[in-house]
Structure 1
């Protein structure tokens, strides 16, 4: 999927946990084979080029595309699996894949884990007994500096913006680059939705506060294009 994944497991290793870790890694490779836009033989690439129909694709592909349609509705059209008219569900797939990898580990007894997909995190349990996870959020205005630190248990954290990849988000409603925020970090219980929601503030800008307030359990921290910060 064009990025790096990592696992931080704080529980005592057991044969079941080692097996689950292998399953989680295999799962991510499976998702990459289906959804990567970097692979010409992936199901998503074949759908985009018309060499495969949705009926011919694995059922999980249709399920993810339905989630993308739901994300488009929830974000008022700010998220779309068809940016610029091309099929690319990456803005939801990565978070969804990481969340599922976290579930695989939890089912095997790993209560305290951090699964990281390109800087988007699904956190389970605690970093150590009585100590929540602590995650630094980069400041897009000051490279190498932290904007804030997020702490929590059983938490998802996703960030979109210009810090790593420059201005790469398009406003689906206009087709123009989305420039209302330099970065947006969304926290909540599920990385599937936090990842998709993190795109919206870069498009919505000041409207984000009212929008995110209507989504129970999720919060957003925005660095707007202007010097003033909002959360």
Structure 2
């Protein structure tokens, strides 16, 4: 079973290799994409009627939000504190934007829907961030300077990998301590047990800049592959990648 849809502003592809009953597999796939579309409607800061937008405008009391949004905001606060404010979803002059947490959190929950349905071998790719089960799956990490090249390929069995970088959306990650775009790194890739953590840690590390690589490496269960502004490759010993190339342009 393979399916691709455009959700939350990027393509989401799902491949399931289980040989289960077709109806059960189809129902699980429908549930995954229904959940992701629901997430977009509820938590997008770009939709005026979303729960996030309504909270940001003061139309919802802090104690009147959904349990899901409370969980997301608690995660955002956790990473704000852990990075000394470098990761912040409430930047001055900007509205509340929890997308850096919502993406990984929602896709990880989608993966839980698959495992709850009894599926054991799948790969869910959300705009290049991947959660997989029953591998090994081969996941390529894009070269920060060349869209048609990879700087590493890793083997992922059960877990997740996420990359934060400047090559797709430019200087979109801001260091909340300074209010300026983070520019000391070109890309940060994090492997973690869940995409909730991999995605948030990759973004937080990028916001921290050069110190973010060591910070991410110190997170339990996380392995890191990064390219700094000088095109140096920095990686933890346990990063499951092979075939690394120099990142020079």
- Give the alignment's TM-score, normalised by structure 2: 0.85
Which runs of no fewer than 5 residues in structure 2 stay unpaired? Answer: 1-7, 236-249
Which runs of no fewer than 5 residues in structure 1 stay unpaired? Answer: 127-131
1:56-67 paired onto structure 2 within 5 Å: 56-67=64-75
1:83 CA drift (Å): 3.0
Kindly indicate whether residue 160 of structure 2 is the aligned counterpart of residue 156 of structure 1: yes
Work out the CA distance in 1 between the residues paired with 2:91 and 2:197.
18
SS at 1:83's partner residue? Answer: coil
What are the superposed Cα offsets for residues 121-169 of structure 1, whole Å, 9 maximum, x if unpaired?
111111xxxxx10011000122311111011201201011111111111
Determine which structure has the larger strand proportion and give its number: 2
1:4 corresponds to which residue? 11
Aligned length: 226
What are the superposed Cα offsets for residues 63-102 of structure 1, whole Å, 9 maximum, x if unpaired?
2111211122233433222134421110011000000000
Query: Which of residues 78, 82, 94 in structure 1 aligns to 2:90?
Result: 82
1:29 corresponds to which residue? 37
1:31 CA drift (Å): 1.0
Superposed CA RMSD: 1.5
SS at 2:175's partner residue? Answer: coil
SS at 1:50's partner residue? Answer: coil
1:16 CA drift (Å): 2.4
Work out the CA distance in 1 between the residues paired with 2:24 and 2:231.
50
Work out the CA distance in 1 between the residues paired with 2:97 and 2:192.
24
| Bigger mean CA offset, 175-184 vs 58-67 | 58-67
1:209 CA drift (Å): 3.8
Contact 1:2 1:38 in 2 (8 A): no
Contact 2:182 2:209 in 1 (8 A): no
Contact 2:213 2:226 in 1 (8 A): no
Work out the CA distance in 1 between the residues paired with 2:195 and 2:65.
25
Contact 2:142 2:151 in 1 (8 A): yes
Contact 1:75 1:197 in 2 (8 A): no
1:47 CA drift (Å): 1.1
| Bigger mean CA offset, 7-16 vs 106-115 | 7-16
SS at 1:199's partner residue? Answer: helix
Query: Which of residues 215, 225, 230 in structure 1 aligns to 2:229?
Result: 225
1:91 corresponds to which residue? 100
SS at 2:206's partner residue? Answer: helix
